[in-house]
Structure 1
């Protein structure tokens, strides 16, 4: 289980209409909460059509929930001129002004925390995996991969990133773990995705065209149980003195100079474990828990519009009750690509109605989702991401994509 929480730092200034005590280090708000351990094989991506979630690991679902909630908070600000958000403020320019800056930003001093009941999969958890396997008397020698069985190269001696096997190969970029005979997934491990967020911030497409990139858009801290923390593993995988040191040194003063590294905090040793997690299943007299094929997602409601919280149960990346590749669009999570773009189009219309300069993605031309993500306004973010990945050995070019057409000028999706 993972959760995203917002709070104001002790240095935050008072916001009109709110209690000072609530803002001085208090007033925390739970934004999203998720469970999940599944990701899609790469062969499924071309059939997703923007409606199927690729990665349902809890940490990633919780982050998608944060992005969805922020879009809803912007909607509250645009629909209700009397609403004042505790978390966002406007930086409006009139529609006839030429501007490349997004029209909103976080209030100064907002902090974002990620809590998770398990260590993130990937490089940060290698020591924990090896210790747990050895304690259980299991063999920790490298697993042969399906790619090797099929004669394809992998980075354990080939061109594909590692999965869970080859524990001793530290500092490597890794794919989401799976059984040795599972079909190939090209979703990056949670460790690697969190590592990249330290360079790009937490705002993903299309939200990043509405909120300015400031220190507040980066993750402040990650909170885990004590037995899910390896000082060596976390420092190597996520810290500036670990595997990223050479990249930062080579790029000193360059594209990576705005990176912000989060702190990792541990809960007290006697903190109650998550009842439905691995730790809860290890308690004496408690039946051992097993990983579920289901994922759950909760996203807080909108503050100004009194919108109810969203609750979804997801199976294979779509809402429970729908087939994975059903043509009905109702199967899509509120956080799927298509629904996020739809919300973006709605907000763009509201901005224009209020005479506020809307962020520019493209030059009014029909394009694909992947084209929009590669627009000039996102060039810095994309170049930094590629620089970091290249410094860690590179990530294979996506040859199968989940893409669909959209028309920025008319805000329609095809």
Structure 2
């Protein structure tokens, strides 16, 4: 099956889940607002059978809390970009799956690992990450090509994007074919295998690929200590391959861009430090699928893993993972580009709310704004009812609750006699060593959350 068809199936699954499972509360008012969406899809492959795919975590959102609004109690959501909401929702799902495994049930995605008190993914289970738009930061610095005085992104779905960005009827078919390159010339499967195909116009069109004349801009700013943007006209506007910080409206943030965070996941895994106490190996994403949007495979590869490829000295089980990257022809209906296409005169702003959802039986949904449950008043801040289920302190308490229900023999030695969230994270030694190697070798300017904000219990 062609890779673009799999990408379309994944995006259609996510769009359907968004439409049918997420509440209207928290979704944008499409007369004036847009949002972004991300999701984690669980894939179960059995030999000779069709893959079973289901959404297990989803997030929407576009906002980020400024540094002055952070709290030392861990009860505010610092980063509400869709990718981060989806990833934290996925961690909540994995925590639930671990509780099922530890209870002795066979009906979960984890099976006993080789080491005592360690678990691993069941054979045939993998996870795909879907994003409705390229992640902010380095992956969004995309070259623009000049074709007949129009701008066109390099794209695996260029034939679909062309009418939007390049005009409806480019007269030179060979030039049009020049936009559609990279993954469009491959047949792919979600397990990462691919088969080269040779389009008839491939050799002919290659000679007509023009030099980029500009790049799409990203709002994320270069992190202090990194080479800064040159802001020169055209392709020399941005510096590529550097760490970036998410913008805040009048208030500086300490949140790294989604491109940077996803690159980190491709070395450390998506499970985080707490769950690593119980896992034999990190949990990596097998594939990353994007919705229809300006896109460059080269930019995505550079942002998500190429800049980390020479990291060495990683602990056993950790690696520089290279997920397959695919793009769908299907556009997210509540994204900025889709809404502008429907009404170009419409003035749009980012939706202020974020939605998190995960496949857990108890309170799977969460709608937040400004880092707290939507509708929270200033008086209620600090009270349990104001917290998102995926904020630091709530995920930590869910982890502690899991430990309370275990026998002493089931608790790894690394988790005994600890008190604070910071101590539990630091005690995941292999994870912290992998993170240290990544920071020292590549991400030297990464802005870390001050320890004062991690010392809650």
Cα distance in structure 1, aligned partners of 2:217 and 2:389 = 41
Q: State the partner residue of 1:189.
A: 257
Structure 1 unmatched runs, 5+:
12-20, 93-99, 148-152, 159-165, 302-306, 407-414
1: distance between equivalents of 2:289 and 2:219? 30
Residue 43 (1) aligns with residue 68 (2): yes
Q: TM-score, normalised by structure 2?
A: 0.67
1:145 CA displacement: 7.7
User: What is the rounded CA distance, in whole Å, between the counterparts of 1:91 and 1:141 in structure 2?
Assistant: 45
From 358, 373, 380, the counterpart of 1:299:
358
For 1:226 and 1:294, the matched residues in 2 are separated by: 23
Alignment of 1:183-332 (within 5 A): 183-213=251-281, 217-239=283-305, 242-245=306-309, 247-248=310-311, 251=312, 258-267=319-328, 269=329, 271=330, 273-285=331-343, 287=346, 289-301=348-360, 307-308=361-362, 310-323=364-377, 326-332=381-387
Q: Distance in 1 between matches of 2:72 and 2:429?
A: 26
Task: Name the structure 2 match of 1:162.
Answer: none
Q: Shift in Å at residue 342 of structure 1?
A: 1.6
Q: Given that residues 144 and 214 in structure 2 are in contact (C-alpha distance below 8 angstroms), is that contact kept between their aligned partners in structure 1? A: no
**Selected match of 1:368 from 387, 399, 420:** 420
Map 1:1-400 onto structure 2 (within 5 A). 1-11=37-47, 24-45=49-70, 47-79=71-103, 81=104, 83-90=105-112, 101-127=116-142, 155-156=226-227, 167-178=237-248, 182-213=250-281, 217-239=283-305, 242-245=306-309, 247-248=310-311, 251=312, 258-267=319-328, 269=329, 271=330, 273-285=331-343, 287=346, 289-301=348-360, 307-308=361-362, 310-323=364-377, 326-352=381-407, 356-365=409-418, 367-375=419-427, 378-392=428-442, 393-396=444-447, 398-399=449-450
Q: 1:361, CA displacement in angstroms?
A: 3.5
What secondary structure sits across from 1:124 in the alignment? helix
Q: Is the 8 A contact 1:255 1:384 kept in 2?
A: no
CA drift of 1:146 comes to: 12
Q: Distance in 1 between matches of 2:409 and 2:354?
A: 38
Deviation for aligned residue 1:359? 2.0
Root-mean-square deviation (CA), in Å?
Answer: 3.6
Distance between the aligned counterparts of 2:219 and 2:253, measured in 1? Answer: 16
**Which 5+ residue runs of structure 2 have no aligned equivalent?**
1-36, 146-150, 154-164, 167-212, 230-235
Shift of 1:74: 2.8
Query: Does the 8 Å contact 1:176/1:185 carry over to 2?
Result: yes
Relative to structure 1, the CA distance from residue 73 to residue 359 in structure 2 (aligned partners, 3 Å threshold; closer, same or farther) is same
Aligned to 2:453: 402
1:330-387, CA deviations, whole angstroms, 9 ceiling, x for partnerless residues? 21111112221221122112221xx75212334414x322122111xx2222222232
Q: 1:70 to 1:289 in 2, by over 3 A?
A: same
For residue 61 of structure 1, report the CA deviation from its aligned partner.
0.7
The equivalent of 2:197 in structure 1 is none
Between the aligned partners of 1:404 and 1:244, the Cα distance in structure 2 is 30
Contact map agreement 1:7 1:111 (CA 8 A) in 2: yes
- Report Cα offsets for 1:244-295 as digits up to 9, x if no partner: 24x33xx27877963321111111x3x2x21111232132347564311111
